[in-house]
Amino acid sequence: MEAYRLYTVMPRLLQFLSELTNWYIRFNRDRMKGTEGTEPAKQCLSQLYEVLLYLSVLMAPLTPFFTEWMYQRLRLMHPDLNGSGAIDAIGKAKSVHYCQIPEVDTSRLDEDAELRMKVMQETIELGRKARERKTIPLKTPIKEVFVVCSDQKLLSSVDSLSTYVSKELNSKKFTLVVDEEKWCTSKVVPNGNLLGKKLGKAFGPLRKAFAKLSVEEVAELKAKSLLGNVKIGGQTLERSELVFMLQPKFDAAKYEGLASADGRFMVLIDITKNESITMEACSREMTNRVQKLRKSAGLQITDKVTAYVDVEGGDESVFKALQMFKDNVRKQIGLPLYPSAFRPKHGTRIAVDHFKYGKGKVSVELVVPGPVMCPDEVLTACCRGDADLAEKVKAFVLTMGLSTISGMDVLTTTVDNSEVSLKKGEHFFTSVEEMVAVHHKGSGWD
């Protein structure tokens, strides 16, 4: 117990858990849900399973009860649960405290992958800070993200994971820029932490020599430092003893950006807006509302629902946005989001959310899926122009279950001594999507 120093472990453990949840799981949650196919989902979940299993073993001496709870649930899925392996093997052992602490396998380390991940994380964090400076929410897309750096290796690292950067920063375009002079100016200072003690009194004159360097001389010094030691102010310095920094040089009305802590690269975002950006931001807000409503109603991702939007106050931009980005909406929430005009009058409400947006009040509603009727004028024509009869026929059909009408091609009923025959795919439908595709073709909702 004399060597039990939890305070030396906790910071590293919390950092690991943060990276696992905020980076790996966050970036792969769609893949884990199976949106990219069954095999990628299995692979991703298997990797997460292995990480959590080994984590429970490594954490066992520190948090014995919690890790035992984790291990007992994870081992149920382990292939060696009922195998003939050693009794202290991970998965076979009946308790996490029977397991041997695994040895470090350095052959599984990938320095190149670690570098790419580190650069990607820093790029995203700088982009987030740039958004915060201009108070641009992550739900609002931006036109473009720029990564400015003269180091081709660094640019290649971030380019290999550019899809994640664009998605996380909600950017329409991602651009790598080698020409630093267009966006920023370079500055170099001596590394005080290394040279202060090493040079003593000579450090002061060296700082003055650095301060006199022109932009061209800084660029030349940076290029030479990549090849080896450099001489300045009567001193021979290594690359690690130099601190290069990038200072922004751009139109602040159009761009926002920050340089990395080590000054190697800069991340800029285009903050200008157009109608497309505004409309997409609106569609994302609506999908976000639907997702939150599903969660608050206790619905699972497999639960079937239909969703409708209503706007009060005459602001039609919400409907326009949903029409422009209907494919993105469907991808985000797994179903279309229609105006309330398409909602069956007798549909059963699951949940509703009222909120202000733009110039009007908006409501998002989740409804139990059920039979859907054609527009009133089509049904009235089928009922020989009798509007009252059409309303009664509609009320009757909407009381029927989907399982009942799904097997019918023709539905014949008698109301008020009048026989009416309805055709599936013309007068009644099993979903709003089917009805819209037939009776609202070309409306922007089909």
Sorted by where each begins, the domain ranges of the chain are 6-107, 111-182+249-273, 184-248, 276-367, 372-439
CA-to-CA dists, residue 266 to 140, 246, 318, 385, angstroms = 22, 7, 36, 69
Residues β-bridged to residue 367? 306, 349
CA atoms lying within 13 Å on the CB side of residue 168: 23
d(C-alpha 71, C-alpha 90), whole Å: 9
- CA distances from residue 92 to 54, 220, 279, 307, 327 in whole angstroms, order as listed: 13, 61, 55, 47, 47
Q: Helix, strand, or coil here: 163?
A: helix
Q: What angle do CA 377, 310, 298 make, to 5 degrees?
A: 115
C-alpha 199: how far from chain center: 49
Which residues, in sequence order, are bridge partners of residue 148? 177, 266
pLDDT tens-digit profile, the chain (446 residues): 566 677 788 888 889 999 999 999 988 888 888 878 889 899 999 999 999 999 999 889 888 999 999 999 999 998 888 777 788 888 888 999 998 888 888 888 898 888 899 999 999 999 999 999 999 988 889 999 999 888 888 888 888 889 999 999 999 999 998 887 788 777 788 888 888 878 888 888 888 888 888 777 777 777 787 778 888 888 888 877 887 777 777 888 899 988 887 778 889 999 998 888 888 888 888 889 989 999 998 888 778 888 999 988 766 788 888 888 888 888 888 888 888 888 887 778 899 999 888 778 889 999 888 888 889 899 899 988 989 988 888 888 888 888 888 888 888 888 888 888 989 989 988 888 888 889 988 888 87
Give me the amino acid identity at 204: G
Cβ atoms of 188 and 244 closer than 8 Å? yes
Count other Cβ atoms within 10 Å, centred on residue 235: 18
Q: Helix, strand or coil for residue 161? A: coil
Task: Please report which helix (H) or strand (E) contains residue 366, including its range.
Answer: strand 360-367
111-182+249-273 fold:
hypothetical protein PF0899 fold (3.30.2320)
Whether 263 contacts 149, CB under 8 Å: no
Name the residue with tokens 């001596």: 190
In order of 49, 57, 69, 99, the CA distances from 64 in angstroms are: 19, 9, 9, 12
Instruction: State the alpha helices, DSSP H only, in 60-151.
Output: 64-74, 111-133
Name the residue among 365, 325, 363 with its Cα closest to residue 343: 365
CA dist 137 and 131 (Å) reads: 7
